[in-house]
Every structure is written in C-alpha cells, then in structure tokens.
Amino acid sequence: MSVLIFVELDEGKIKKSSQEAIFYGAKVAGMMGTAATAVVLGEADSAELATAGRFGATKVLHAADPKLNETNGMAYASVVAAAAQQEGAKVIVLAKSSLADAMAARLAGKLKAGLAANVIDLPQLGDSFRVKRSIYTGKAFAETELTADTKILAIKKNTITPEETDATASVEAFSPALNEGDFGLKVTNTEKATGDVLLPEADLVVSAGRGLKGPENWAIVEDLAKALGAATACSKPVSDLDWRPHHEHVGQTGIKVSPNLYIAAGISGAIQHLAGVNSSKVIVVINKDPEAPFFKSADYGIVGDVFEVLPRLTKAVQAL
C-alpha cells in the first residue's frame, strides 16, 4: 500500500505545484508508515521524473503512451485509478489546478472515494481522517472528515513549502489498458501562457487594470514584475479590451491565484476579481481613489497615481 501522487508536467518539467504535492504526499506516507509513489502521464524524460525523489517520492509510475500527451480529464482519471488499484493506494494526492478539477471528481467516482479540495495542512490521523481546507475564496477554513475507504486530497497551491534533498526516485513503466471511449473529446488547439514566470505557478504577481489607461503603458507593470521575478496579470476588462492576453485574466471567470504577494495597480476591486485573488497571502493595492473597494481586502494600500508609484517601487526593488 502506498500514497499515490498525481504529477503534472509543463514543457517536460515537474510543475512547482506538483513538487508541493509530492512533498505533501511523502509526509502523509510517513505518517501512515508507507511509501510515496508518483504517477506521471505522457512522454517525458526519465531523468526529470527521477527528480521526484528530491521531494520524497520513492517510485514513479510512468504511463508514457503518446495518447496521454494531451491533457484529458477522462483518460487521466482512468489511468490514475488503474495506478491506485495496482498500488493499493488509499490516499491520492494532487495539486489543485484546472486539470485536477476536471479529473479529481471523475477519479472519485471511479474509486468511490472521498474528495477534499483546497487542502492546506497535513491530515489529522487517528480514529478519523480530517483535513483543514480553505473555503469561501480563502476567507474561512473548514475541518473536513473523510469517511470513505479511499481519500483524494487536492492541495492548494503555495500553502506547502517543499524541502528538497539529493534523493532520486526509481522510474517504472506503467502501461494500463486505455479506454478508447475516454478519447472521444479531441484537443484541436492549445494556447499556452508565455513569460519568464507563468501565472498559475507564480509566488509573486503584479496585476493591473484599466487605471493603466492603455496597453502602451504596460511597461511599468512589466518592469516591476521583472524586478521582483513576478508574473504579470490583469483584470477582466483589460483582457476584454485586448490590452493584454486572456491567459493573464485573473478573477472569477479567469485564473484563480494564491501567490505569496499580489500587487494590484489601478484595479477597483470588483467582487468577480476578488474571487480570483482572495487566497493570496498578502495583497497590496495601488489606486488613486481612496474609496476603491479593493482597499477593504488589502493588507497594504497606497493611495496614489500608478504612473508615479510603480516606477518608484521598481527603483526601490532594484536598489535592494
């Protein structure tokens, strides 16, 4: 029996959020007196997969069928279910993401498992299996008891800080029978986010809204982001106006982020935007309107013109 961790890749590399999931899963395995096994789907380099050992995995099951190169919630759920059954895994860990959301519910149905999302701490074991979860877009916490024989835990990003070692994991080929019915949905085109730091994985985010007045002024946002090593983001009106690409849109209908620091410049703070950023550990708001609703949700606020404040912040960061 082992704890099974589903690992996502990006450009052939283990995602930062999956590194957190591996470390979390290894800790749970230690609490349960068992081993941590990772499962990876799609073609990938074995040397990269072996690095899962740095975060606590002892073994990696690699389902390398080319059909699994394209993310597919239905097919992925079937393969991970097969891996769980082979390993006798009663706890399955994954990082919460758009792919995980599409897959985890199907996986729970296949395994008749209990599912807890937005888990932020190690479980309480004993007479029951309890986990602490972030709810209401980070405004509250819930203690959730899972009573099903198999448990699925979706870990909230940036809540677990992995410790890295020099260990490596063994990599084993895993070739379950694929269900052709799972491939009825075909991916015809994929548009990937670009940039030095990708928004879904970012610890630091610099975001801006219509207060920037136009796409030609975005250099001051990018300069601050570059100085901080941060990702850039925007509000929905900005992406709707095509000032910025839609993959930078943060909010209820866009990407939901939970970085350690979220800087919002020239964004009023509509409830739809707040729903996507409330999980941030620290929120800094810059707006010339002292009555902007965003200030009510901010940890720190600067009342001022973004065209004056952002360049000064950038210079201060560069000086450090």
User: What is d(CA 18, CA 22) in angstroms, rounded to the nearest whole number?
Assistant: 6
Nearest CA-CA partner of 132 in 119, 115, 148, 146: 119
Q: Would you call 46 exposed, middle or buried from its count of C-beta atoms within 10 A (0-12, 13-18, 19+)?
A: middle
User: What is d(CA 59, CA 186) in angstroms, rounded to the nearest whole number?
Assistant: 31
User: What is d(CA 24, CA 1) in angstroms, rounded to the nearest whole number?
Assistant: 17
Q: What share of the chain is helix, strand, coil (3-state, %, to 5)?
A: 35, 25, 40
Answer yes or no: is 220 a known binding residue: no
- Structure-token pair, residue 124: 């309480």
Answer yes or no: is 130 a known binding residue: no
Answer yes or no: is 124 a known binding residue: no
Query: For the chain, how many helices (H) and strands (E)?
Result: 8, 16
Answer yes or no: is 158 a known binding residue: no
Answer yes or no: is 210 a known binding residue: yes
Answer yes or no: is 211 a known binding residue: no
- H/E segment holding residue 38: strand 35-41
Answer yes or no: is 271 a known binding residue: yes
- Structure-token pair, residue 309: 């404040």
Answer yes or no: is 249 a known binding residue: no
Answer yes or no: is 267 a known binding residue: yes
Answer yes or no: is 26 a known binding residue: no
- H/E segment holding residue 116: strand 114-119
CA dihedral (19, 85, 152, 108) in degrees, to 10, reads 130
**Three-state SS at 69:** coil
Count the neighbouring beta carbons within 10 Å of the beta carbon of residue 45.
12
Which DSSP string corresponds to 176-229? PPP-GGGGSS---------SSS-GGG-SEEEEE-GGG-SGGGTHHHHHHHHHHT
Binding residue numbers for FAD: 210, 266-273, 287
**Binding region:** 210, 266-273, 287
